[in-house]
Structure 1
Amino acid sequence: MRQYITRRLLLMIPILIGVSIIVFFLIAAIPGDAIDAQYAQSHLTPERIAEMKAMLGLDKPVWERYLIWAGNALRGNLGYSTQYNMPIAMVIHSFIWNSFLLAIVAFILELAIAIPVGVFSATKVHSTFDVIFTVVAFAGISLPSFFLALLLQKVFSVDLGCLPLDGMSTVGITMTPIQQLGDLCLHMILPVICLTMMQVGGTMRYVRTSMLEVIHQDYIRTAQSKGLSERVIIYKHALRNAAIPIVTFVGGALPGLFSGALITETIFGWPGIGKIFLASISQRDYMFMMGYIMLLALLVMFGNLLSDILYSVVDPRIRLK
């Protein structure tokens, strides 16, 4: 196992290099830059604009700019954000944990709802319960995130007035630490509900499908013929084997915990990394985009590695191969 993990980590190096080259050259091919976005409508002279571009190295060839970026990235310097006038690493650190807070709560709720509902739907296939939650699952998958977010705001914030409309905290009020925590939880309710509703349907269907494939296996019929209780058959035998494909989903969810929810965070005014990334596109903060995408690429590879490790935990036979 140790040799396998070491080999996978070493394999990440050329993959990251390839991803960085492709992403950097694609971003460089986009017309305009941060200086054009900020000062195109200003009264600055073309000479002054050219001087500012030279200060950022935008006058150099693309290949030279990539080599400079790659050399700095190896030393832990991802560049400078023109949108926030601070190092990109500091910008990511300032906002990524806000996104993680929303994502981890929604992810826990998603698993807590989807796994038991998916298992029960598989054991009661084509029942009223199964049909109802199948409809609910497809409704959650089909609804656009912006529509669901706006609907939640209208019902709970505008009509009922029981939950905050947007933001992460109430401004202009002095609160104790406990009151601040309660205020944060109130502001989290709507975006967490939105994220959970968007994701729980697909996860529930995934669990249901995995369980249906397992409960029709021969060893399940053998366990039933031995007189074992349904609870033991489902939760000790079937669910353990059905969990093997489910861990793929868990490992793949790692990038989503840190990538942020672009539309949801923007509509609810949540200061997360997704909202910042969306703003960086319009501001042409390409160095921030580069650092953000490379972070996601790294998380995707670690998520795949985590899935493979979880395979061996769920199914010990994989360790022998």
Structure 2
Amino acid sequence: MKTYVTRRLLILIPILIGVSIIVFLLIASIPGDAIDAKFGASRLPAEKIAEMKALLGLNQPVGVRYLNWLKNALHGNLGISTQYNLPVATVIHDFIWNSFLLAIVSFVLELLIAIPVGVLSATKIHSFFDNLFTVLAFAGISLPSFFLALLLQKGFAVDWKMLPMDGMHTVGVTLAGGAYLMDILSHMILPVICLTTISVGGAMRFVRTSMLDVINQDYIRTARSKGLPERIVIYRHALKNAAIPIITYIGNSLPGLFSGALITETVFAWPGIGKIFLESIAKRDYLFMMGYVMLVALLTMLGNLLADILYSVADPRIRLK
């Protein structure tokens, strides 16, 4: 196991370098830069604009800029964010945990709903229960997140005035202790409902499909013929063997826990990393964009590694070599 994990971690290095080259070239191909986005409409002399670009190294060839970024990144320096005038690592640290707070709560709710509903749908295939949740699942999958977010704001915040409309804190109010925590929780409710609603349908269908692949296997019929209770057959035998695809789904969800929900965070004005990344595109904050995308790439590969490790835990027949 240790040898396998070490080898996989070492393989990450050339993969990340390859990803960084592609991403850097794509970002560099975007028209304009941070100086153009900030001062393009001003009446500053062209010499002054050229001087500011030179200070940021934007006048250098793309290859030289990439090598400078790579050298600094290998020393833990991801550069300075032009929109915040702070180190990129600091900006990411300041906002990523806000996104994680939303994502982990919605992800746990998603699993708590999707797994039991998916199992019941598979065991009661083509029943009213199965058809009902199939329709609800496809409705949730098809519903645009921005539209659902606006509906939630209209109903719960504007019409019924039950919950805050946006933000993470109540503006102009100083709170502490339990009151501060409750204020954050009240602001979380609507975005969490939005994220859970649009994701739980796909997860439920995923669990249902995984269960249907094993529920009619010979060993399940054998377990039933031995007189085992249906609950034992389904949850101890069938669900355990259907866990491999579910583990894959969980592993692939790891980047989403930290990368933020761009649209949902923007609509609800939640100060998360996704909202900041969306703003960085408009402001041509290339170094922040680069740091964010590389973080997502790293988390994606670590999620795949975590899934591979969990495979051997869920099924002892799988050996990592």
Which TM class, normalised by the smaller chain length? over 0.9
1:166 has 2:185 as partner: no
Structure 2 distance, partners of 1:33, 1:244, is: 45
Distance of 2:56 and 2:170 partners within structure 1: 38
Q: Distance in 2 between matches of 1:235 and 1:220?
A: 11
Q: Distance between the aligned counterparts of 1:27 and 1:117, measured in 2?
A: 42
* Distance of 2:289 and 2:182 partners within structure 1: 33
Match of 1:286 in 2: 286
| Alignment deviations for residues 216-260 of structure 1 (CA, whole Å, 9 cap, x no partner) | 100000011111110010011000001111000010010000000
Correspondence for 2:62: 62
* CA separation of 1:293 and 1:320: change in aligned 2, threshold 3 A: closer
Q: Distance in 2 between matches of 1:209 and 1:244?
A: 12
- Preserved contact between residue 4 and residue 320 of structure 2 (Cα < 8 Å): no
1:75 alignment partner AA: H
1:19 Cα shift? 0.3
Residue 303 of structure 1 corresponds to which residue in structure 2?
Answer: 303
1:30 CA drift (Å)? 1.1
Counterpart CA distance in 2 for 1:99 and 1:178 is 21
Aligned residues: 321
Task: Give the structure 2 partner of residue 147 of structure 1.
Answer: 147
Cα deviation 1:134-177 (Å, max 9, x = unaligned): 11000000000000000111011111110000000101123231
Q: Shift in Å at residue 320 of structure 1?
A: 6.8
For residues 188 and 31 of structure 2, the distance between their equivalents in structure 1, rounded to whole angstroms, comes to 37
Matches within 5 A, 1:208-223: 208-223=208-223
CA 1:320–1:305 in structure 2 vs 1: closer, same or farther (change >3 Å)? closer
- The letter of the residue matching 1:233 is V
Aligned pairs for 1:70-81 (under 5 A) are 70-81=70-81
Specify the code of the residue in structure 1 equivalent to 2:24: F
Q: Which residue of 1 aligns with 2:85?
A: 85
Separation in 2, partners of 1:219, 1:125: 19
User: What residue in structure 2 maps to residue 100 of structure 1?
Assistant: 100
1:57 aligned partner, one-letter code: G
Partners of 2:320 and 2:20 in 1: CA distance: 35
Q: Give the Å deviation of 1:33.
A: 0.2
Q: Name structure 1 gaps, 5 residues minimum.
A: none
* Higher mean C-alpha deviation, range 32-41 or range 311-320: 311-320
Alignment-derived partner of residue 4 in structure 2: 4
Partner amino acid, structure 1, of 2:16 = L
How do 1:1-321 and structure 2 match up within 5 A? 1-319=1-319
Q: Distance in 1 between matches of 2:280 and 2:176?
A: 34
In 2, the alpha carbon distance for the partners of 1:147 and 1:60 equals 43
Counterparts of 1:31 and 1:128 in 2: how far apart (Å)?
54
SS of 2:169's equivalent in the other structure is coil
Is the 2:280–2:289 Cα contact (8 Å) retained in structure 1? yes
Closer, same or farther: CA 19–320 of 1 in aligned 2, 3 Å? closer
CA distance in 2, matches of 1:173, 1:31: 42
Q: CA RMSD in A?
A: 0.8
Tell me how far apart the structure 1 counterparts of residues 123 and 271 of structure 2 sit (CA, whole Å).
Answer: 42
**Alpha-carbon distance between aligned partners in 2 of 1:65 and 1:176, rounded to the nearest angstrom:** 46
**Normalising to structure 2: TM-score of the pair?**
0.99
5+ residue gaps in structure 2?
none
The percentage of counterpart residues that share the same residue type is 73
AA aligned to 1:289 is M
The residue identity in structure 1 corresponding to 2:33 is D
In 2 relative to 1, CA 21–57 (structure 1 residues): closer, same or farther, beyond 3 Å?
same
Shift of 1:3: 0.9
Deviates more, 1:169-178 or 1:140-149: 169-178
Question: CA–CA distance in 1 between the matches of 2:173 and 2:300?
Answer: 40
